[in-house]
Each structure stands twice: as C-alpha cells, then as structure tokens.
Amino acid sequence: MQKHALIKIDDKEHTFPVMTGTEGEKAIDARNLRKETGYIFYDQGYGNTGSCESSITYLDGDNGVLRHRGYTIEELAEHSDFPETAYLVIYGELPNAAQRKAFGQLLRENAAIETQMQRIFEGFPKDAPPMAMLSSIVGSLAAHYPQLATNNFEKDLQQFDLAAAMAISKIRTIGAMIYRHNKGLPFVHPKDLPFCNNFLHMMFSEPYQEYAALPEVAKALNLILLMHADHEQNCSTSTMRMVGSSGANLFTSLAAAINALSGPLHGGANTAVMQMLQSIHDENDDGTRFIEAAKGGSKSSRLMGFGHAVYRNFDPRAKIIGQACDVVLKKLGKSDPLLDIAKNLEQAALKDDYFISRKLYPNVDFYSGIIMRALGIPTNMFTVMFAIGRSPGWIANWREVASNPKGRIYRPRQIYVGPVKRAYVPLANRK
C-alpha cells in the first residue's frame, strides 16, 4: 500500500507520496510541492534533499556501510581490483572473463596521449596547479574526439563503451604526464602493464632505468583507487550529474566534476593531512603537544583526516586502507618523520577516550595521504590521484542521467533575499 506524507500549509492539508529505496531509505516525493502549494523546501547545501534515484552506490553513514551495486567495499577490496570494480560501478555487474578481457583491452588501447594533445602541456607553466591542468586537458578530449562527444545522449551512448574506457585510461596517463611536466621531466609512454603498474611506470621511469613496482606498492595504489571509485551523491558527483543533465557530453561533464573535486573542502582532505603533519614537524613536535592542543579546543590544532561528514561511527574504507598502509610502510622501510608523526596520531586517536567518545577515527584520507607520500607521490598530486580513482563513479552517474528517458535538466530553486522592486536613479541624482 502506497504511503503518503501529510503537510499542512495555511490550514490546508496536502498529501505527497513516500518513496522507499531498496535498502529502506525513505523520502517524501515533493516534485509537485511548488505546483500544488506555491512553496518550496529550503535545504541549504541539499543535505536533506534527494536529487535523483540511483542504483550505483549505497551508503549508510550511521552504520559504516558502503556498497557498490550491492557488493560491500570489504569484499571488493579483498577479491577485486580497480579495473574490475570500475566495470562493476559503470555497468552494474561484475564482468565475466570475456567482458573483463575486452574492458582491459580498451583500457590498454586508449592509454596513450596523441602528439597534438601533448602540445597542450607546453602552454602550462611548470608550476601550474595539477588539478587545473587535469580539468583543462580532460575537457579537451571533447575537442580531440568529437565523434564521442556530440552532446546528443542517443549518439553518445552508442559510443559509450569506448568513451568510458578512454576517459579512465587517459585520465591516468594525463595524471602521470602532469607530474612529469611539473618536474621538468620527459614524458614516459604507457606499456602493456596492469593498470596501476602502468601508472607507476609512467610516473617514475627514466630513460636509463625503468621503474618496476613492488607487488605491495602496486596493490596499495590499486586499493587507494578502488576505495575512491564512487561515494554516492557528493559534491563532484552531483556536479557531474548536473552538467550532464544539460545534455553535455561525458568529457565535458568530467572536466566539471574534476573542478568540483579540486576544492579544499572536497578533494583536498588528504592534502590537508600532509600539511597538518608538516606543521607539527616544523614545531619540533612528535604529535603529543598537537593532540593535547586539539583536545583543548585550539583552532590552530585541528585534526585533519579524522572523522567524516557522512560516517558517524567509522569509515569502512579506513580499516582496509589502514592495514595496507602498515604493509607498505614495512615493505618500503621508509624513514620519514612525517610518517612517524602520523602513526603517533593514529595510535592516540584509537586509544584516547577523547577521540573514541567523539568517534574521531582516522578516515580514508588520513591513510591514503600517508601511503601516497610513502610511494613518492607529492602532495600537490594527491587530488589528481583522487580524480583517477573517482572517474568510474562519475562516468556511471553520467550514464544514469543520459540513459533516463524521463530525465530533466537540473534546476534548483532559491529563496530570494535581495532588494524589492525599486526605481532606476539617474547618475546625476545618485548620492
């Protein structure tokens, strides 16, 4: 039996259907609210607003649950890898052997960046912000491959498999090229290697010495990307859907999502962790004084990488990647004062009642920053790594928008609080 919500406005009652998701999430279907009542809901930041129906990712922040297409993040981390999880997120099912092979082949065939595209890098200064470069170059894919970016949903969906694989593969290659451009190093061409090994090869190989990733290193990077594959309707994913709802092609929409991710309140969290650790080190502190100051409410001693805006208890990704962090640091035998400080903070947060009572546990950003530093990835590249990992989720959300025959352009409303109607004052009469 259909449930309804009763809303009373100006002594008049209105009923609206109640929607229930497959995991029991409930929402009031308010699509006709303005039409029936003249009112809208005010929800700054959309924290209580459902903007879409999606079958990609289920997130229960109260209980620390994250599932992609029904599969838990724990199972995927244990049994899957990033390319397979990317396929699952995009297409809805785990690939069979033939599908896995075909998808992998598309990724390999589309890894290289053509000479004309490489010239784009020449226009950027050596110290250009990596995310600004990434969004610009990814956006240019629409110009280089116009047959895949027609801004016509029907035509673009016909070429979707190639466009999706191209986006995932080239974002990875572009990321490696940005790193080398900023270092003043020559570009390294992709090889026939597994996804993460290929990325590390393009990042760190030299003409006189090819980089061969340790299995533990490649696995850790694979986990970082997998942990970020999708995360429901966050800022950048919602941006992807909003831009896509206008009919914009996949590459243009991806560039917009990358720009949203570049903001420090979204994709910059793991960068903020490293900046915090560096500031602690600069004060000749091993973390002890910083922790006490944080417990005392010092605004200058804010713990970054602890707690989460969505997860109220713990981030399920943090435990997985935290274990990988221990393995990598042990294998590499890294001696790094910032990593030592990070371990001190972690132990304090896991044992101190102050942090436990407030549920301030280390999150995925805390551990991913530590791993990437250990792998030699500089801090200014952290958000680029986030973008590479998140690309399957963005692509899957664009596909949902493009495939919805009843879809409409996103158009939020507002509450106007500016001046009321007034008369124009000639310049000579203005004070």
Task: Name the active-site residue from 81, 156, 315, 365.
Answer: 365
Catalytic annotation on 365?
yes
- Distance, in Å, from the CA atom of 130 to the CA atom of 136, rounded to the nearest integer, reads 10
Contact 147, 159 (CB under 8 A): yes
- Distance, in Å, from the CA atom of 313 to the CA atom of 266, rounded to the nearest integer, reads 20
Task: Let me know if 293 is exposed, middle or buried by CB neighbors in 10 A (0-12, 13-18, 19+).
Answer: middle
Task: Let me know if 287 is exposed, middle or buried by CB neighbors in 10 A (0-12, 13-18, 19+).
Answer: buried
Task: Let me know if 409 is exposed, middle or buried by CB neighbors in 10 A (0-12, 13-18, 19+).
Answer: exposed
Residue written as token pair 């896509």? 244
Contact 348, 291 (CB under 8 A): yes
- Distance, in Å, from the CA atom of 153 to the CA atom of 161, rounded to the nearest integer, reads 13
Contact 343, 291 (CB under 8 A): no
Of 19, 360, 50, 365, nearest in space to 232 by CA: 50
Q: Is 9 helix (H, G, I), strand (E, B) or coil?
A: strand
Of 366, 360, 369, 370, nearest in space to 294 by CA: 360
Catalytic annotation on 4?
no
**Dihedral sign for Cα atoms in the order 334, 335, 338, 339:** positive
Task: Name the active-site residue from 68, 201, 308, 315.
Answer: 308
Q: Is 121 helix (H, G, I), strand (E, B) or coil?
A: helix
Contact 168, 111 (CB under 8 A): no
**Strand ranges, E, within 334-397:** none
Which of the residues are catalytic?
A: 308, 365
